[in-house]
Amino acid sequence: MPENSTLSKNYVYTQNRELSWLRFNRRVLEEADDSSVPALERLNFISIFSTNLDEFFMVRVGSLFDLSAIAPKEIDMRSGMTPAQQLDKIYRTVPDLLWRKKRIYATVCSTLAKSGIKDVSYDELKPDEGKFIARYFTQNILPVLSPQIADSRNPAPHFQNKHLYIACLVKSKSGKERVAFIPVPDILPRIVMLSPEGRFIRTENILLRWAPTLFGQYKVEESCVICATRNADVSFDIDKFEDTETDYRNYVKKLLKKRANLAIVRLEIGNDISVPFRKELLKIIPVSDYQVFYDSTPLNTKYVSQLLENLPEYLTSQLRYAVHKPVWPADIDKNSSVMDQIIQKDRLLFFPFDSVDPFIRLLNEAADRDDVVSVKITIYRLASSSKIVRALCRAAENGKEVVVLMELRARFDEENNIAWSKMLEEAGCKVIYGMENYKCHSKICLITLMEKGKFRYITQIGTGNYNEKTNTLYTDLSIMTADSIIGRDATAFFRSMLTDNLDEEYSSLLIAPSWLKPALIDLIDRQIAKGKDGYICIKVNSITERDIIDKLAQASRAGVEVRLIVRGICCIRPGINGNTENISVSSIVGRYLEHARIYCFGRGDQAEFYISSADLMTRNLQRRVEIACPVYDPDIKKALARILEIQLSDTAKASNLLPNGSYIRKNGAGLPLIDSQQKFSDETFHKSPPAQKRRRSAGPLSFLTKFLHLK
């Protein structure tokens, strides 16, 4: 292993990424504790919190266990902790979060019960409900059950990741105790509705009551619901080792030999059990005491989606957010060609407030127009029913060259992407799968036209996936431009992807892993040179990259005002004297998932803006193919500045990061409440423009052009 340079790092103004993530998930839970949020949405936030925590254990905790086994002295470059020390901190932090979840869940359930929506325990069943459930168990549940007693003849089941099991301590007539298990079959619904108004019982609670009837001569002494969480990163994804300084391939070779003993990283138990039962259970399930968590709230909250589907509309309309319908932007004429309007002027879409339909219309126009010769696009995640894919297939069927760079390694979405890639290929699209060691996380679409013997380009670059579903749930940005320099760069980008050339030089686009990080450092340096007149405002999902953090701290020491809007992980601590006192950090967690990335350097008319697919993380800047696109259009610059201004003024859903790494909600400061997401719903950045002359400005000389020239 090479010498670990992190030993010389200054940890005064940085913090561990895993602990920062847990604080983010606590902010998600705080939304469930907000009485101004509709009750069913509060329940949904609890479900999101639980799902987030599940994935955290599957991916992040799993990777730390792997590292602790094969690289125990590896030092986290932001906290100086070893993998074992990080795990210790995580396992000490989680119980408090579970206690908060239990309290909030009880409050939310009490609120929902006032509207008739109740998670009924078996003892709370009415007589007619009890008879119904008894019949339901006999007819619908019992035939698919596979109970088993773990002994020398019958090994314990392989505990599938995040599946529910009923665990029982059983005793034979001779007094011998065993542990028995009843897997909760996937084929069963997660809940059984007892009334149209919302009374329901969870399937695992039915099984708990009927478990004593399933083991013949054995008597059930105790029972509980259990759920095991496994290390789910079985693909050995390079992201797993994003913060290490040693070749991940060497880790993988060692990891293959140790995987079996490190598979389960958490065991959840749904109620208190006796010490003897616990001891017997842990003889079978290979976890240590500190990996066991008691959680009386549902161990799998996927039942929430089924509940929402079964509730009557009059209830859900009262207890959920008011329906928001994305609007067609006023500055794009529905009755005219979208492509022609983009040729006249750059266009901005701000999801979910704007509709994705203009972009889909653009793709459909490209499929039909005779002057379009090709459509090229990167795809990371897609909706289950994708109008975008249909438009691409139609373009290919109409004789256009369609190139799709499909990332098959989008975590937990691999199967869906494989299915879409087959459909695209069958339609005649050329599908490529990126580079061997680099995920392609870029969001770019290039339409090439032939006009009077010359090529013209329409380029769309976004911060989010080409997914019509998440376009209604995430805040994201999409710029559509006919800028010739951006178009030529986009052409070079797809050429480089086809030829595995990461060192392609670009004039305007900032491409990771070769160019984005040095470009950002140079942009920060230019603000450092301005001293107290410098200004940096960055909106991203996460900041973990140590070199960027150190450069921002340097900017703060130079007097530059640095304002960061970071939804999730933030490994820089603001307000540390002599280091980050000129840095402020806020986080917004609200109805929509904050997902847009905006980089702003400078103030007023001199400000330089970029939108990007990249967070400021090691994996994004060094181990993924990402794009940051400069913004040249003055109206779009003003819109981005306004977005940042409104988010910085948010007092309803924003929290401020404190020097000690904790967060404090702004809504407790007695300020007038400003909900930035609601404000975006209420106002628009689009105005119906007067007729404009055809123009084609290439924009100012980009950073990268100057950077390459200096080189």
Alpha carbon distance 661, 23 (integer Å): 9
Q: Out of 441, 595, 686, 709, which one is annotated catalytic?
A: 441
Tell me the torsion sign for CA atoms 440, 444, 450, 454.
Answer: negative
Q: What is the dihedral of CA 85, 87, 89, 91, to 10 degrees?
A: -150
Q: Is residue 327 within 8 Å of 684, Cβ to Cβ?
A: yes
Task: With H, G, I as helix, E, B as strand and everything else as coil, classify residue 177.
Answer: strand
Residue 222 CA neighbour count, 13 Å, CB half: 18
* Ranges assigned E (strand) in 270-410: 292-294, 347-351, 372-379, 401-406
Q: Is residue 541 within 8 Å of 567, Cβ to Cβ?
A: yes
By the 10 Å C-beta count (0-12 exposed, 13-18 middle, 19+ buried), 571 is classed as buried
Q: Which pair of tokens denotes residue 87?
A: 């795990």
Q: Which helix (H) or strand (E) holds 167?
A: strand 164-171
Q: Is residue 315 within 8 Å of 116, Cβ to Cβ?
A: yes
Q: Which pair of tokens denotes residue 159?
A: 């505990």
Angle, CA of 205, 210 and 211, to the nearest 5°: 95
Q: Is residue 44 within 8 Å of 304, Cβ to Cβ?
A: yes
Q: Taking the mean position of all CA atoms in its chain, how far away is CA 101?
A: 21
Q: Is residue 470 within 8 Å of 622, Cβ to Cβ?
A: no
Angle, CA of 419, 423 and 429, to the nearest 5°: 125
Residue carrying structure tokens 């967060």: 663
Alpha carbon distance 441, 627 (integer Å): 8
What lies within 8 Å, CB to CB, of 385 at 6+ separation is: 468
Q: Does 163 participate in catalysis according to the annotation?
A: no
Q: Taking the mean position of all CA atoms in its chain, how far away is CA 185?
A: 28
Partners of 626 in the beta sheet?
Answer: 512
Taking CB atoms within 8 Å and a gap of at least 24, the contacts of 153-158 are: 156/181, 156/284, 156/285, 157/181, 157/183
**Residue 506 φ then ψ, to 5°:** -125, 155
Alpha carbon distance 229, 50 (integer Å): 12
Task: With H, G, I as helix, E, B as strand and everything else as coil, classify residue 82.
Answer: coil
DSSP code of 78?
Answer: T
Alpha carbon distance 701, 697 (integer Å): 11
Q: Which residues does the annotation mark as catalytic?
A: 441
